[in-house]
Structure 1
């Protein structure tokens, strides 16, 4: 993918950077060859992004042409919102306090060039601001009020506003950004699409282990993708890709959701999509959704501070309490008495006004059916940890897991497959892991996971490399559907 630096005047960008062309904004807007060009990154350094200005139209038309602009038109619009400072003050409050703690003044102005700061101690703060609002040139004005730092104003700055003494650093930051993880790699044939896989190397229990990630990469490249592994610091690069595959544990109040939302907004094919994260990540929503679709599940009660006395009569003891955003057996507890219920539920209700209560229905194992695009993909039995009522037991900092058994989809009881697919389709058409319990011919859904585990040596034991290929083929199918006449 080629790159273009778009400026209002030739003198605005006097440096030469390998692989980057410099073009006047008016030429970019009006020349027919630019209209027809494909797979181009456009770095918009126009002097103004005002509504319907030349700079505004550069980003607007870049999106229409299938180019990858920085900033995107959505970012330009977002930067005009009056509540930007409030959003940032909430999102990066602690980082802001640490970064600015040693300043002796009560005001500070920070210029951010392609996500970088001339002051090394503010590099993380600059990157965080850029990740929220990816634009080449930004400025944040901070004030110290009471006992904390706050952002007073935040927005883009024009190339002409960059101090002469900082221009060399700007060009250096631009070089680094343009070449960021873009070193050429040998391939059998040119890539058809760019796929980003979002991972977190520090995550203790990621949804895919390193061997699985390598197999995803291999499968994607065999289908013609150029694959890059990215992390949360790459938010500003999301729009440069055609597709995003999230292989980091997702949550709504988390950067994974922001990645998914931005990717969807920019027209990428994304798994997990933001709507699936919203629906599956909250067990209160999921309980109501399953009820509306009449999908069988254990007896369920939405618990709040005013109906704790109804729990025993409705669910009996023991019963299971679930924090709405619980994951991997965390935030899921079993209570066996009124006193225990009151103590544990009260603690949970301090975090959320609603929690989930379900009848306790023990089984030897839980089914996990992987569903992709409304069709069953893989099947596993996850057995309970020895002497425990859950698949995972956490004790004294240790994690103990039960055994697993992977089966061919055709060997799974039809009723299990049918109900799993029903539950997944209620969420969307992405990739899901549906957990179910089976009691003879009775099957009940426990939950639907938008970010299911796909680990080498577990979920892939039947399909092997074909499992990874099918998931990557899903991306290819959706991308080709968008470009097909």
Structure 2
């Protein structure tokens, strides 16, 4: 397997290690030579893992390319969550107390370089923490409270902040680390049993309307579940349940992702699972993934500050610009001319190092194919909002003008290329519940996006299956629970 160390600046890592190459982040993100590599381990030593930073995108696109990044984007998000930190480190509580028992201070900082520390006595603790949070450079902060040590936080250490006196050990540990053939994380034990449905009563355009939520509850209770609607205020109650079904719009920088990760850490079955949220909610990841798998998409380019002047020549005008984490048509704009193109690029690139640009492909409607457990669930045509180029028009003067009509289509009337392309796209993400949006142009289907949290509204998506639609989803959740209990996977 090819081993690649990615840094912000070449000066950050000048150590020559056998069978390991070093590349800067911009080159890895934008050079096509790295897109086509099939078998690679990416060691991400960028200075920041902040959301939508270069370091964030290195790991995100590594996953899209089929590379194996350390850390993964999931690990990056876990490091930011105090609750995830506490939930995972409960398993190593005894090791923490034993390792730090001899300390007299009330605060202790443990530096973990490639799974090791300068002091041999902390070897087991370093290994345990690194197994749970696989990142090359970590800093764990402990505080002594009420006669025991508590892990207060664990964070990424920017490589330029490693003390000079530690560099000799850092490079020694790196050689041993890069020589390893396997990198495996600790598994989290599973517990609990019942169904929580996460909703936001105040959400303007939730993925399921009130009547649909009632049908989900009814279906679940008919299959023997105790079911409860929960909100973001019920975070600490997740361990009470066996499964979490998220029915509010998801995003990575949002409590829905924290709920998914917390539920996963506590052993719950989760739809939408955190990996699907990560993969679907970022348009940059999806563009890279679909392109690599040769799934048809409209002409697309990943835009950054160095190629922004090529957008008009590549895509023409008008063109569509998308923020990486846009949803429900929000954060998606049409640049009509040079002036609007410059204005929108200035604004979007100020928020994110990478954004998506696509050729403008107007159609009367978009297809939506619902997919569950890698099989088609429903098919819809979503028509454009009145007088608008998108399904949703959030600037509509009247409420009835905000959203276009929806029409459910029997599978036998769905063109084969639409269904086939949708399944191919969804199955790249996982085996959860997805909605694949496509445009049909000249007898060919083009994927616009894959949604991890598709709309399922009473009176729209359920017009053909009716209550069987809700029962199918709950049955899938129940089967996943049974599989976990019996030690089987859901693949």
- Match of residue 74 from structure 1: 88
- Match of residue 421 from structure 1: 423
Once residues 347 and 87 of structure 2 are traced to their aligned partners in structure 1, the CA distance between those partners, rounded to angstroms, is: 44
- Match of residue 177 from structure 1: none
Aligned residue for 1:401, secondary structure, equals coil
Once residues 323 and 155 of structure 1 are traced to their aligned partners in structure 2, the CA distance between those partners, rounded to angstroms, is: 43
Report the number of matched residues. Answer: 316
- Match of residue 468 from structure 2: 466
Shift of 1:394: 1.9
Once residues 247 and 447 of structure 1 are traced to their aligned partners in structure 2, the CA distance between those partners, rounded to angstroms, is: 19
8 Å contact 1:198–1:232 — kept in the other structure? yes
Once residues 360 and 146 of structure 2 are traced to their aligned partners in structure 1, the CA distance between those partners, rounded to angstroms, is: 58
Once residues 144 and 246 of structure 2 are traced to their aligned partners in structure 1, the CA distance between those partners, rounded to angstroms, is: 29
Shift of 1:155: 8.1
Once residues 412 and 218 of structure 1 are traced to their aligned partners in structure 2, the CA distance between those partners, rounded to angstroms, is: 30
Once residues 418 and 412 of structure 2 are traced to their aligned partners in structure 1, the CA distance between those partners, rounded to angstroms, is: 11
Structure showing greater radius of gyration is: 1
Shift of 1:473: 0.4
Aligned residue for 1:395, secondary structure, equals coil
Aligned residue for 1:350, secondary structure, equals helix
Shift of 1:203: 1.1
Q: Deviations over 1:347-405 (max 9, x none)?
A: 11111111100000110000011000101000110001122111111226755111111
Query: Does the alignment pair 1:448 with 2:450?
Result: yes
Q: Deviations over 1:398-456 (max 9, x none)?
A: 55111111112232111111100110011110000100000132110000000111111
- Match of residue 267 from structure 1: 267
Q: Deviations over 1:71-92 (max 9, x none)?
A: 986253699799xx9xxxxxxx
Sort the Cα spacing of 1:442 and 1:213 in 2 relative to 1 into closer, same or farther, 3 A: same
Shift of 1:313: 1.1
Aligned residue for 2:393, secondary structure, equals strand
Mapping 1:208-247, distance limit 5 Å = 208-247=208-247
Once residues 386 and 255 of structure 1 are traced to their aligned partners in structure 2, the CA distance between those partners, rounded to angstroms, is: 33
Once residues 456 and 352 of structure 1 are traced to their aligned partners in structure 2, the CA distance between those partners, rounded to angstroms, is: 36
Sort the Cα spacing of 1:397 and 1:388 in 2 relative to 1 into closer, same or farther, 3 A: closer
Shift of 1:154: 7.1
- Match of residue 288 from structure 1: 288
Mapping 1:352-431, distance limit 5 Å = 352-395=352-395, 399=399, 400-431=402-433
Mapping 1:42-191, distance limit 5 Å = 74=88, 76=90
Sort the Cα spacing of 1:385 and 1:154 in 2 relative to 1 into closer, same or farther, 3 A: farther
Aligned residue for 1:445, secondary structure, equals strand
Shift of 1:193: 4.2
Aligned residue for 2:194, secondary structure, equals strand
8 Å contact 1:305–1:346 — kept in the other structure? no
8 Å contact 1:364–1:383 — kept in the other structure? yes
8 Å contact 1:193–1:224 — kept in the other structure? no
Once residues 456 and 75 of structure 1 are traced to their aligned partners in structure 2, the CA distance between those partners, rounded to angstroms, is: 42
Q: Deviations over 1:50-100 (max 9, x none)?
A: xxxxxxxxxxxxxxxxxxxxx986253699799xx9xxxxxxxxxxxxxxx
Query: Does the alignment pair 1:195 with 2:195?
Result: yes
Aligned residue for 2:470, secondary structure, equals helix
Aligned residue for 2:341, secondary structure, equals helix
Once residues 464 and 145 of structure 2 are traced to their aligned partners in structure 1, the CA distance between those partners, rounded to angstroms, is: 52
TM-score normalised per structure 1 = 0.62
Sort the Cα spacing of 1:204 and 1:75 in 2 relative to 1 into closer, same or farther, 3 A: farther
Once residues 218 and 352 of structure 2 are traced to their aligned partners in structure 1, the CA distance between those partners, rounded to angstroms, is: 42
8 Å contact 1:372–1:471 — kept in the other structure? yes
Sort the Cα spacing of 1:297 and 1:226 in 2 relative to 1 into closer, same or farther, 3 A: same
Once residues 377 and 254 of structure 1 are traced to their aligned partners in structure 2, the CA distance between those partners, rounded to angstroms, is: 28
Sort the Cα spacing of 1:310 and 1:266 in 2 relative to 1 into closer, same or farther, 3 A: same
8 Å contact 2:295–2:421 — kept in the other structure? yes
8 Å contact 1:377–1:409 — kept in the other structure? no
- Match of residue 330 from structure 2: 330
Once residues 407 and 286 of structure 1 are traced to their aligned partners in structure 2, the CA distance between those partners, rounded to angstroms, is: 26
Sort the Cα spacing of 1:205 and 1:155 in 2 relative to 1 into closer, same or farther, 3 A: farther
Once residues 230 and 193 of structure 1 are traced to their aligned partners in structure 2, the CA distance between those partners, rounded to angstroms, is: 15
Aligned residue for 1:370, secondary structure, equals strand
- Match of residue 297 from structure 1: 297
Shift of 1:483: 2.4
